[in-house]
Structure 1
Amino acid sequence: MSHSTIKLLEPIVVNRIAAGEASLPRISCAAVIIRPSHVVKELIENAMDANSSQIDCVVKEGGIKLIQIKDNGDGIHQNDLIIACKSHTTSKLHELEDLKNMTTYGFRGEALASISHVSHVTLQSKTSDSICAYRAAYNNGQITSKAPHPCAGNKGTVVGVEDLFYNVPLKRKTLRTPREEYEQIVSVMREYAVHHHSISFTCKKLDSNTFDIKTTGKDLKGAILQLYGSFVFTSLLFIPKTTTEACCFETFVTNPSYGDAKSTKLLLFVNHRAVENRAMKKSIEKMYSQYIPQNMHPFVYISIDVSFLSQDKVIDTISTMIEEELAKWKDDTAKTTVNPQTVPIVGVVADRITIPPVKVPSCQGTLDRFLVKTPSEVTNSPKDPLATKRPLVSKRSMDIQTYCIPQRSQSQNQPSRNPGAVPFPERQPKAKRQSVQANTSPLVSSLESIQELQKDVIHVEDIDLTDLISHHNFVNIVDDSLAIVEHNKLLYTINYNVLGEEMFYQKVLNGCESFGRILLDPPVSICECLNITSGKEEEPSLVPTGNGQIESLLSKHAEMLKTCFSITVVQGHLISLPVLIRDYAPDMNKLPDFLLHFTQIAWEVEKECIDDIARELALLYTPPTWLDPFVGDPEWESKVQYILLPAMKTNFRVPKYLNQRYIQSLVSITDIQQAFS
C-alpha cells in the first residue's frame, strides 16, 4: 500500500489557509482544544482519514487523565513520527492546488500540535510494510527522544493523550465534572458513529468492562437503532436523498409521536463534517412546535452535500421538506392498518383510540349493559358502523395461509392455557409500595369486576421483583423463553414468556375500554380460521361441536368484546384486535387456538369472564416458541429486546408466585471480575 509522507507546509500555503478561514462564516468549531470532547473529535477524524474500519476510544476521568484512540488504519511511517506533532505538518496537503480536491477532514496540520501543547501525547503506529510498530512521546510539538522506539503492535495507530491542560490550571478549572465531560465525549462518538455507519466504533471508561458505545458497522438506520434505541428507531421518517438548487441532502426525522423531554437532538453534517448551526436548530424546533407537545423535542439527522453554502436557502429547503413529511405522516396515521400477511413485524403502527372512563352508578357498572337486545330493540338501534363501512371479502378468496406463517411447535415449558393452572395465592394484606412509581397510571375502569381484578394483582405483588424488572439492564437472549438481565451488579435469568404473559394480562386489565385497534386486512373468517385446529390433537373439552358454535358465541357477545377489548366481530369475521403495546402485534399462528378457547370462557359470571378473556389475550400476545431454540428467530429476538422487555419496566407488578421458578439469580458481576483478576 502506498504511504503518504508527512511534510511541513510551505509558509505561503499556511497563510492562504489562514486567510481563507478568516473570510468564511464560522459554522463549526476549529481545531482549538477547549474540552476533552474536542480532542476526541480531532483524533477520530484523523483515524477516518487513515481509512480505518475500527475506532476504539478509552477514557479516564472524563478525558482529563487519559484519552486513548486506537484505529486499524494505514498507520504512520517511522520517519514521519519525528515531526508528526509539529505545527503545519500533514500528509493530506502539499501544494496550494490540492485544496481544490480536498476530501479529508484535516489538512492544516494543527490538531496534534495543538493537543501536544496542553498535554502529554504518545503515538504508537505500524504500517502494512513495517515489521514492527514504533512508539514516540511528544511535548509542546516536539518529540522527547531522538527517534521513535520499536515495539510490538498491530497495524494502525494508537494515540494517547494524558493530563490534559496540566500546564493551564485556569483552563482546568473551567471544565465540568468528569461525568459530564465523558457524556459529551460519548455524544460526539455517537454522532460520528451514525454518519459513518460503515465504521465500527467503541467507547468505554478505562476502569469499566461495559462499552457505552459499540457499533458493528451496520446501515444508517441500524446504527441509529444501536445508538439511540428502539423508541427513536420506530419513530423515524426517512426523506431520501433529495437534490435542489440549494443543496443535496438526506434526512431521518422522528414523527410527532416521539418526544424527548431534554432537548432537540440535531445531528448535522455538511460535506460529511459534523457542524453546529443554531439557525438550523431553531428553524426545526419552530416547525416541530406545531406537531408535538410543548417542552418535547425531536431527533433529527441531516446530511448535506453542498459546493457553495447559502445558509438561508439550505435551512428553508430542508425545513419545508421535513414539514411536508410530518404533515403527510399525520394524515396517514388515522388510515394506517396492519396486514396479517406481514405479521409479526417490528414497528407496527396502529391508531390509538382513547375512550375516557365513564362514571356510572354501581348498578350500571356491570356487563348487563352488553346483554343481547331483543329483535324489536335491534330494529330500532343503528347498525354496526363497521358492518356498513368495511366490505367483506369473498370466502372463495379467503385462505388461512394468507394471514398465517408456518406453524411453530409449542414448547412443553409453556404455562397451561387454562387460566386456573397458575392459581393466585391467598390474599395478603396490601403492602406499602417502596419501588419506583410507574410513569403513567392505569386507567380507572367503569366495571367493578375489573377494579376488583386490579386489586387482586396489587395484593399478590412482590415489590422486590417489581423493582428488579423495572430497573433491569438487558444482557442477552438465551433461547425462546429465557433472557439474561442485570440488576444491582447481579445477573439473573428471567423467563420472558411467562413474565410477558402476566404483563399482557395486566395490560388488558389496565387498558380495558380504552384500547387502540390493530385492524386485520383482510378480515379473518372465524370458521375458516378454526378449520386449522381440526387436524390438531386438542383436549376433548376444547373440541367444539362445530365451528359455527364459536362464531355464534362471538357474535352474541360482539358488543361487549368490542367495547371492552377492541375485539371486533362482524358477520362471522374478526375485524380487529387490541393494541396492548405500541409497535407490537401478536403471532397470527396463535389465532386459531385463541378463537377455539372462547368456548371455555365463563360468560355467565362477570369477574370470571373478564379474567378468562384477559388470560386468553395474554396467551395470544406472548412471544411464540421458535422452530429451533438453539438457532433463534431474529425477528422475535429483536421484539423481545427492544419492545417486550422495555415494556415490562412500566406499570407491571410482578406477582410473588413467579419468584423462584421463573426469575433466578445466577452470579454477582463482582465475583466474575474477581475471578478473572
Structure 2
Amino acid sequence: MSGRSPSPPPPGPLPIRRLQEAVINRIAAGEIIHRPASALKELIENSLDARSTSIRVTIKDGGMKLLQIQDNGCGIRKDDLAILAERFTTSKLSTFSDLSHLTTYGFRGEALASMSHVAHLSVVTKTKADTCAWKACYEDGKLVPPKTGLTVDPKACAGNDGTTITVDDLFYNTPTRLSALRSSSEEYARILDVMTKYAIHNPRISFVCKKAGSSTPDLSTPSSSTTPQAIRLLYGHSIAKELIHAEVSSVSTNKKRRRPQDDEDEEMDVVSDDPESWSADAYFTNANFQAKKTALLLFINHRLVESTRIKRALEAVYSGILPKGACPFIYLSLQLDPRSVDVNVHPTKREVHFLNEDAIVERIADKLQEALASQSQSRTFEYQSATSSSSTPTEPKKAPVYSYHKVRTSTKDRTLDSMFPVVDSLRQVPASANDDGSPVPPIVWKIKEIKESECYLHSIATLREAVETGKHKHLMEILEKHTFVGIVDMNRCLSLLQHSTRLYLVNHGALAEELFYQLGLRQFGNFSKMRLDPPPPLQRLVELAVDAEEGIKQSRFTKAQIVDMIVNTVMSRREMLLEYFSLSITPDGMVESLPLLLRGYTPNLDKLPLFLMRLGPQIDWTEEMQCFEAFLRELAYFHVPGPVASDPASVDSDSHHNQEKSERWQIEHVIFPSMRRYFSPPKSLLDRDVVEVANLPDLYRVFERC
C-alpha cells in the first residue's frame, strides 16, 4: 500500500466580475494619455478644432506638475461644461456614419475625460457671446468644487475669448505610470517636439511654449507665416537652405475642401469628388544635407501620425543618394478623401489606415526621386587645389578679388542682434541652431503684392507724381539692395544697413514714416480694414489725448470744449473718412475700423488717441489736396514704430519688453523688406536720416597703417 497522500482536486474556474467604474476609466485613460506630450497633443488638436490663431503653452517639471494651454478659439458654451469631461461626449459626431466624413482632429470625446481621471483638471472658457469667462474644475469626469464649501457649478471669472485648460499633477494617482516617465527635461523635449511639428504644419497660427516662471519662451513662432519660413525658424538654416518642394496628386482636381481652422484668406486643400482622389505636399532635403536619424513629419488630413511603411519607402529613395548611415529631413502632408480613411484604429489616433496605401506611397516616392534627380549638381564639396598647375590651360585666369572689395550680399548672414547674449524670443528655440552652433539667421518675411488703386482725383494724381519725380535714385538703390545689419537704438530709431562695401546709419522711424505715407497714397480709396473689437468710443479716445497735452492749459478753450470741437469735426466727415480711408466710425461715435497700410504690420494702438486728436487741428478740411496729404501724413505718423512718450514709472516692464520685441521683429522682417519694393525715397532723407558711417576700403587703409 502506497504512503502517498491523495493530490488535491484541480481548482475550479474563477468568477467573472464587473470592474469598478473608476478602474475602467483609469485603464482607458492609460490608453490615451501615455505621457505629458501625448496629453498636450490632444489639447493642441482641440485648440486647432476651435479655429484658434494663437496657442500658448506653459510647462512645469516636464508637464508632470503643470501643463497649461491657452488659445483664442471659439470657446465652450457654459451649458456644455457639465458634461465636458465625461467619456464619449463630443461635438464632432452624432452617428457612426459621421466617421466617414470626419474633418476634425478629435471625435471620440475621451481626451479631457482621460486627463480628469489621472490629473487635476480645470477649464476657463469664454465665447464671444458671453459677457464673462467661466471656470470649472473636474475630477474623474465630474464637476467638483474648486474649494471646500463651494458648489460644483461653473464660476464666473475674468478671461479672454477662447479656452485655457490647466492639467495639474499628471499621474498623481497612478504611481507606476509616473515612475516610468523619463526625466523632466526629456519630457519637456518631447513636448517641444510635438509643438514644433504642429507649428510647421500650421504656419499661419502662432505657437508659444515656455517653462513656468521663465520670461522668455523656448519656442515662439509668428502667425501668418509659410511652411518654409517655419522650417527655417524651428529646424535651422542648415536644413532650410537645402529644401526641395514637390507636389503630387492622383488626378486633376476641381473642388476645394477647407481645413477646420482655416480662415477666408488661407489656402485650401484640393480634392476631387472621387473618394479615391488624393494630393500630397512635401518639403525634403537634397543630397547636400545629412543627418544621423531620419526626421519625418507626416500629416495625413492634417493629423500628426506615424507610419513605418511610409518612412521606409521614403528612406529607400535616398539609399542611392546619401552615404551609408546618413538620413534626410522630410515634411509630408497627405490629403485624402475622408471616406477613404479610417482614423479609429489607434487610441491616440497615432496611426490611420487608408485605401490604396501602397499605390499612393509609391507615387509619392517616385515624385521625390524625380525631384532629387532633376537637380543638376551632386553634393557640394569645398576644396582647394594643392598647386596652381592643377588648372587646365584652357581655363581663363580670373582676376583676384581683394579682401577689401568682398561684399556680404546675403540676407541670411548674421545680424547685429545675434552677436549679443540676449536674442529675440523668436530665435530662442533649442532646435534652431546650425550644426556649428551658430545662431539661425532670421526668416525672410513674404510681403504680399500691394496694387496701386485706380483714382481719378486730380489731387491724388498730383501727389503720386510728386513722389515719383522726387525720388533719389542712389538712395533708392541703397534701400533696394541693402543687407539689414541690426537695430542700434530703438528709442532713437537708429538702425544699420549695408550696401556694397559701405555701412549706413539710418533713422528707420523717418524712413518708415515716408514709406507709410507712400503706401497710403498708393492704396487711396481701396484700403484693407483693421477691425477694432470691441470698438472704442471716439469721445473717450480724444479725451485721453487732450488730457496728455501740456499746451492745452494756455488755450482760451477748456478741455471739454476742445474735445467737443475735435469730435464734431471728425464726426461731420465720417462718410468721407470711410469712403476714402476705410476709417469707420458709427453714428454713435464708436471707432469700428482703421485703414491697414501693410499686411503683417500692426501699429502701436497706444498712439490711437493722439492720431484721432490730431485729425482736428492738424488738417485743413477746406482744401482737397492739402486735406488728403495731411491726413495721410498723420496716418503714416500713427504707423511709425516706437513707444508713446509717457512716464517711465507707469510703464509695465513686461508689457514694454514684449512690445519692443514685437516692434524689433516688424522693423527687420516687414518694414525694411517693404522698402525694397514700394519705397521711392526723397532726397531730403539724405540730409540727416541716412548717414554713411564706414567704408570697407577706407577701413583697410587705416589698418594697413597700424
TM-score between the two structures when normalised by the length of structure 1: 0.49
TM-score (norm 2): 0.47
